Amino acid sequence: MTTTASAVVSKVSAVETRSIDYVPDDERHGKVSHQGPFWFVGNFQPFTLALGFVGPSMGLSLLWSIVAGVAGIAFGTLFMAFHATQGPVLGLPQLIQSRAQFGYRGVLLPLIGTLFTFGGFIVVDTVIIKQGLNSIFGWSSIVVAIVINVASAALAIFGHDLLHKTFRILFWVSLPLWAVLTLGALFGGVHGDGSAPGGFTLVAFVVQFSVAASYNITYAPYVSDYSRYLPRKTPATAIIASVFIGAVASPV
């Protein structure tokens, strides 16, 4: 047990070797409680905030935007959280599992779709972050974009263990910012254009709901990639609850 534990600890800062391969039972490690902070930080980003403006931009009031957004996020995250249970059982990345549904060659279709989806996420996130930091601090947009993508690539290369470790640190760093932002919005610290408070339109409500729901659904193609290292007998309800709470809390 001691030798195994030491080996696991030594791998935390090492490059992930399993990549898209099956994770054997003797290499399983981690805690289900780590899933919550991981997905909380994954959604605590400028793109998430931008999606909240979809309803108001179409004339939806603050109250109805909140209702549509929260309902959409909760609905979409259910599908994502249930997929997370496949990780400990199968020990495989999500898209490799999809060979059973689509076939060995047919899986290329969702693979290409996923590639474009997350390529788009990277582009949009980079644009929002670099423009924001440039407008606030005057930082060079090109330098910011390079730093963001180099850091992201490094985390992706090192893989699972370093990603989880980094995200847990970022969770505690970002939690006070999240609290300040929330309190500021609730108690009037965040100001906007009050001349057009908006109302309710079915089209705007459905669009805000759909955007919020699809946001976390798009994580479904790889959600079990980050739960497949958990022990095989990890309770499914615990994984679902941890992923759901983390992935819902920060976008709400």
* Stretch 188-209: mean pLDDT: 79
Q: Tokens representing 68? A: 């549509």
pLDDT at 116 over 60: yes
Domain borders along the chain are 26-99+160-187+197-249
Return d(Cα 228, Cα 37) in angstroms, integer.
Answer: 16
Maximum mean pLDDT: which of 90-94, 108-112, 139-143 = 139-143
pTM across the whole model:
0.83
Q: At what angle do helices 202-217 and 62-83 cross, to 10 degrees?
A: 30
Tens digits of residue pLDDT in 28-64: 998 999 999 999 998 888 888 888 889 999 999 988 9
pLDDT for res 60: 92
pLDDT for res 248: 94
Top pLDDT among 114 and 198 is at 114
